[in-house]
Amino acid sequence: MEKTTLKPVAIVTGGSKGIGRAISIELAQSGYHVIANYHSDDNAATELVEQIKDTGGSAEKVKFDVKDTEASEKAINEITSRSNTVDVLVNNAGIISDELFIMMTAKKWDEVIDTTLKGFFNVTRPVLQKMVKQKNGAIVSISSAAGLMANRGQANYSAAKAGLIGASRTISAEVARLGIRVNVVAPGLIETDMLKDVPLADLKTIIPMARIGKPDEVAKVVKFLCSADASYIAGQVISVNGGMF
């Protein structure tokens, strides 16, 4: 891991691809030293860090599985021990494994719930301990429109994303008085690998704006919630879905 930077520090889980990648780039362009967590794709993580550095930003990659409590705490403790502050945490790590509920296996249920919700716990708790001591910080968790509305075949994903909302609102009520803002962004249909096998033309008909969203459109909202411009926003869910919900 790199030496402590004087820049504000932002940790982004699942930060090397899709929405997480866009968030990492957006925060780096805003002056943060971005620590991008990833699970398996070394090439994507390396490419992200190189891209950020090539454009004058500051970033590093940290590989660990957010589902693994011990590995997560070890990685976060290493980061917080060498950083003067941890200013931002973005909980973006998540997966999908769709199936009608009546046919869903326990494995599919557990994989999705553990990545999103257990991962949220494993990373947020040690980061929050640091933020409580410094009496400052912003946490943004990436939920989904599926956490707010019914979506057939995604009971596990919907449960995980709705859980992020409930947990974030409760934690916000616990720590807002300490100068820590906890919020949620709920994207709709966004151009990422999750939609690679989906007929996009059909999906556009259910979106009032009649188009699929872009990852950077989500990233800009996350950047706002992390900034001083959002200094009085806490415990909120901001939807970025083109009017779909």
* Residues 194-218: b if buried by 16+ CB within 10 A, e if exposed: beeeeeeeeeeeebeeeebbebbeb
Query: Is there a contact between 185 and 240 (Cβ–Cβ < 8 Å)?
Result: yes
Query: C-alpha distances in angstroms, 180 versus 8, 158, 175, 190?
Result: 15, 26, 6, 28
Packing angle of the helix pair 119-134, 155-175 (nearest 10 deg):
10
195 Cβ neighbours under 8 A, 6+ residues apart: 189, 203, 212
Q: How far apart are CA 228 and CA 14, in angstroms?
A: 24
Residues tagged active-site: 157
Q: How far apart are CA 99 and CA 7, in angstroms?
A: 43
Q: Which DSSP symbol is given to 208?
A: T
Sheet with 137-142, side-by-side order of all strands: 58-63, 33-38, 9-12, 88-91, 137-142, 180-187, 237-240
C-alpha count within 13 angstroms, C-beta hemisphere, residue 39: 14
Query: Is there a contact between 66 and 116 (Cβ–Cβ < 8 Å)?
Result: no
* Per-residue tokens: 164: 């992020």
